[in-house]
């Protein structure tokens, strides 16, 4: 069965610090990969996604993620965080085994950015 691991459960940073959130998945076949963000009191929003092609994908608000197939990883990065990036971040994988778009989510990483 597919699974997603997010190793950082809670990250605390100061503004302007660099961010990297880890995400590893377990599935040997073709996958689509996603990062979703949930700001306090708001719904899950898509940050970025990888389907194929360039393994370095850029998303909204200056975020990017790199797909490393050999490591089954899809880590999220941002060079300089802002207070407004305080949110919960979820990595998700969609295994291309059927045409069902079923997303498997990680447990999430709570990011707190202090001014």
Residues that bind other proteins (CB under 8 A): 4, 6, 32, 36, 42-46, 49, 51, 90, 92, 94, 96, 98-108
- Min dist. Cβ of residue 47 to other proteins (A): 11
In eight-state DSSP terms, residue 85 is G
- 1 or 115, CB closer to other proteins? 1
Paired tokens of 2: 């597919």
- 54 or 115, CB closer to other proteins? 54
From CA 62, how far away is CA 46, in angstroms rounded?
Answer: 13
Q: Are 102 and 92 in contact (CB under 8 A)?
A: no
């Amino acid at each position: 069965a597919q699974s997603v691991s997010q190793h950082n459960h809670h990250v605390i940073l100061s503004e302007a610090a660099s961010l990297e959130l880890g995400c590893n998945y377990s599935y040997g076949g073709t996958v689509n990969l996603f990062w979703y963000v949930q700001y306090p009191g708001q719904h899950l929003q898509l940050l970025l996604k990888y389907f194929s092609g360039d393994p370095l994908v850029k998303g909204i608000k200056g975020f990017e993620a790199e797909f490393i197939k050999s490591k089954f990883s899809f880590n999220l990065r941002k060079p300089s965080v802002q207070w407004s990036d305080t949110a919960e971040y979820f990595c998700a994988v969609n295994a291309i085994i059927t045409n069902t778009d079923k997303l498997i989510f990680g447990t999430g990483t709570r990011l707190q950015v202090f001014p």
